[in-house]
């Protein structure tokens, strides 16, 4: 049997309503914050991610789905969206049309990691990018959008963590200070962290190892070495978040795994999923656009994992999706009326009524059971003596009331279906 590839999942009809619910909520929120949707190809030239995300990151160095196409061009299934959005932004000169571009997306991403709770190889993210302004208001806006969406879903067990990485100059300065602090503690660090000491020293703060944590307990903090501009930017972000009632905490040890971040970074963590607890992460990336060949321009954004959010919702039992309904089920009383039933079904379907009927030649009782299972509002019986008299029987499945209706008055049935119940066109 051929099965779905490791780390990929089918989203079956039973689960689609949850996805649509979440997607609709995201779209509404994004619209109210005036973000416009952007869709980019699922694969890009590999070089984009190497330059955008950073060669040294785990994502680029060991997690990408990279392959050669028939023209020997190296392509990669996108592992994240920001680089792709920035590429499109530069390619289409979006900055020339509008000084500030506010974009959002809901899209699949690909990373070849070992699957785990809340971690798949094809997974879905939604996110936003605001390109063209360095205002701290946008840093805050990102956190507010993300938090509001999670909050609207009913998630409770959330922690918002923020930090500032400052500008590269102050960060380099800090790295040296940290290096000196750790120089006589190297023997206390884990193997991984010893490597990081050389390659990307800030990432040592990400370690879960007890020994690393102990060694870092008294470490100097990045936030103490920010220049005055970064500091005031960061303070403004915090003030705006406080005014917006976002329950955040400053975590000076929050460093992110992508190289492009500057100034504000943030993460929203849930206590309701497994160990992959980050539902959302983001921050400012004022150097990325220039780095990818665009005119120097600031940007800020975030991405959130939809599977993780759904997992959290499931564990907190906070998604109340209304059950699926059918407007009408047409029941065939006589087996020689299959074509008549088919005509009637089509008549109502073309009026945007959700209708079903039996294609399996089943008994009336079986048809009724099916109608009940489909949660239909009405059933329509076609056949027998009533049919000879030019009538059909309409049954209200809620109270069981039945009435005979002349077949010349189908519009009477139509009105009933349209008034009382949610019809197909509104259900999406």
Partner RNA sequence: GUGAGCGUAGCUCAGUUUGGUUAGAGCAUCAGGUUGUGGCCCUGAGGGUCGUGGGUUCAAGUCCCAUCGCUCACCCCA
Give min distance, CB of 232 to RNA, in A.
Answer: 26
CA pair distance 89, 83, nearest whole angstrom? 10
Instruction: Note whether 365 binds RNA by CB under 7 A.
Output: yes
Identified binder of RNA from the candidate list 119, 175, 185, 340, rule CB under 7 A: 119
CA pair distance 146, 267, nearest whole angstrom? 10
Identified binder of RNA from the candidate list 164, 238, 277, 423, rule CB under 7 A: 277
91 contact partners, CB below 8 Å, separation of at least 6: none
For residue 53 the two structure tokens come to 């995300």
Instruction: Note whether 167 binds RNA by CB under 7 A.
Output: no
Instruction: Note whether 271 binds RNA by CB under 7 A.
Output: no
Give min distance, CB of 47 to RNA, in A.
Answer: 20
Give min distance, CB of 307 to RNA, in A.
Answer: 5
* Region binding RNA by CB under 7 A among candidate stretches 3-11, 129-137, 147-155, 347-355: 3-11
For residue 197 the two structure tokens come to 């000491």
CA pair distance 218, 221, nearest whole angstrom? 9
Q: 87: which DSSP letter?
A: H
Token pair 């906070």 is found at 318
* Region binding RNA by CB under 7 A among candidate stretches 131-139, 164-172, 202-210, 337-345: 202-210
- 3-class SS shares of the chain: helix, strand, coil, % to 5: 45, 20, 35
187 contact partners, CB below 8 Å, separation of at least 6: none
Identified binder of RNA from the candidate list 32, 116, 176, 425, rule CB under 7 A: 116
Give min distance, CB of 406 to RNA, in A.
Answer: 15
For residue 55 the two structure tokens come to 């060669």
CA pair distance 67, 56, nearest whole angstrom? 19
* Region binding RNA by CB under 7 A among candidate stretches 17-25, 164-172, 178-186, 253-261: 253-261
Identified binder of RNA from the candidate list 26, 85, 189, 371, rule CB under 7 A: 371
Instruction: Note whether 187 binds RNA by CB under 7 A.
Output: no
Instruction: Note whether 369 binds RNA by CB under 7 A.
Output: yes
Helix segments in 77-186, DSSP class H: 82-91, 94-97, 136-152, 168-183
Identified binder of RNA from the candidate list 17, 33, 40, 63, rule CB under 7 A: 63
CA distances from 316 to 126, 153, 319, 400 (A): 21, 10, 8, 37
Nearer to RNA, 14 or 96 (CB): 14
Nearer to RNA, 214 or 239 (CB): 214
Nearer to RNA, 398 or 412 (CB): 398
For residue 33 the two structure tokens come to 């914050």
Kindly determine how many residues on this chain lie close enough to bind RNA according to the rule CB under 7 A. 68
Instruction: Note whether 363 binds RNA by CB under 7 A.
Output: yes
Instruction: Note whether 34 binds RNA by CB under 7 A.
Output: no
Instruction: Note whether 286 binds RNA by CB under 7 A.
Output: no
Instruction: Note whether 6 binds RNA by CB under 7 A.
Output: yes
105 phi, psi to nearest 5 deg: -150, 155
Instruction: Note whether 317 binds RNA by CB under 7 A.
Output: no
Picking from 151, 162, 205, the residue whose alpha carbon sits closest to that of residue 300 is: 162
Instruction: Note whether 354 binds RNA by CB under 7 A.
Output: no
* Region binding RNA by CB under 7 A among candidate stretches 219-227, 313-321, 380-388, 413-421: 380-388
Instruction: Note whether 61 binds RNA by CB under 7 A.
Output: no
Token pair 């920010």 is found at 226
Token pair 């490791």 is found at 6
Identified binder of RNA from the candidate list 36, 92, 214, 373, rule CB under 7 A: 373
* Surface-to-core class of residue 297, CB atoms within 10 Å of its CB (0-12 exposed, 13-18 middle, 19+ buried): buried
CB half-sphere exposure, 2, CA atoms < 13 A: 0
Map residues 68-107 to x or -, x wherever contact with RNA holds by CB under 7 A. ------------x---------------------------
CA pair distance 279, 102, nearest whole angstrom? 21
* Region binding RNA by CB under 7 A among candidate stretches 40-48, 52-60, 245-253, 288-296: 52-60
In contact, 379 and 368? CB cutoff 8 Å:
yes
In contact, 181 and 225? CB cutoff 8 Å:
no
Instruction: Note whether 148 binds RNA by CB under 7 A.
Output: no
CA pair distance 140, 302, nearest whole angstrom? 11
Binding site for RNA (CB under 7 A): 3, 6-7, 57-59, 63, 80, 111, 113-120, 123, 125, 192, 196, 203, 206-209, 256-258, 267, 274-281, 303-305, 307-308, 333, 360, 362-366, 368-373, 379, 381, 383-386, 393, 395, 397-398, 400, 402
């Amino acid at each position: 049997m051929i099965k779905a590839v490791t780390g990929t999942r089918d989203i079956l009809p039973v689960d689609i309503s949850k996805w649509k619910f979440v997607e609709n909520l995201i779209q509404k929120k994004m619209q109210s914050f005036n973000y416009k949707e952007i869709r980019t190809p699922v694969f890009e030239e590999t070089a984009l991610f190497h330059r955008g995300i950073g060669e040294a990151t785990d994502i680029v160095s060991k997690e990408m789905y990279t392959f050669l196409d028939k023209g020997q061009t190296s392509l990669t299934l996108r592992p994240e969206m920001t680089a792709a959005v920035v590429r499109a932004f530069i390619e289409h000169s979006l900055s020339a049309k509008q000084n500030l571009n506010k974009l959002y997306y809901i899209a699949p991403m690909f990373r070849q990691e070992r699957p785990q709770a809340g971690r798949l190889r094809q997974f879905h993210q939604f996110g936003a990018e605001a390109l063209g302004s360095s205002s701290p208001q946008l840093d805050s806006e990102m956190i507010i959008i993300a938090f509001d969406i999670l909050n609207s879903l009913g998630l409770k067990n959330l922690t918002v963590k923020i930090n500032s990485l400052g500008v590269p100059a102050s960060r380099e300065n800090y790295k040296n200070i940290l290096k000196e602090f750790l120089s006589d503690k190297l023997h206390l660090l884990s193997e991984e962290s010893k490597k990081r000491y050389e390659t990307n020293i800030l990432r040592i703060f990400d370690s879960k190892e007890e020994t690393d944590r102990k060694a870092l307990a008294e470490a100097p903090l990045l936030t103490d070495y920010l220049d005055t501009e970064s500091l005031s930017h960061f303070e403004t972000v915090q003030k705006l978040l406080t005014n917006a009632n976002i329950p955040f905490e400053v975590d000076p040890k929050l460093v992110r795994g992508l190289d492009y971040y500057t100034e504000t970074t943030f993460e929203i963590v849930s206590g309701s999923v497994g160990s992959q607890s980050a539902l959302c992460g983001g921050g400012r990336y004022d150097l990325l656009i220039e780095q990818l060949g665009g005119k120097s321009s600031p940007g800020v954004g975030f991405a959130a994992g939809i599977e993780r959010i759904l997992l959290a919702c499931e564990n907190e039992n906070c998604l109340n999706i209304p059950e699926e309904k059918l407007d009408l089920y047409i029941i065939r009383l006589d087996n020689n009326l299959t074509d008549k039933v088919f005509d009637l079904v089509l008549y109502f379907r073309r009026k945007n009524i959700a209708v079903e009927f039996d294609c399996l030649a089943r008994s009336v009782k079986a048809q009724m059971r099916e109608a009940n299972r489909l949660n239909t509002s009405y059933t329509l019986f076609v056949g027998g003596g009533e049919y000879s008299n030019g009538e059909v029987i309409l049954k209200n499945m809620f109270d069981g009331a039945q009435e005979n209706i002349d077949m010349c008055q189908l519009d009477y049935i139509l009105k009933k279906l349209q008034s009382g119940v949610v019809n197909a066109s509104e259900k999406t």
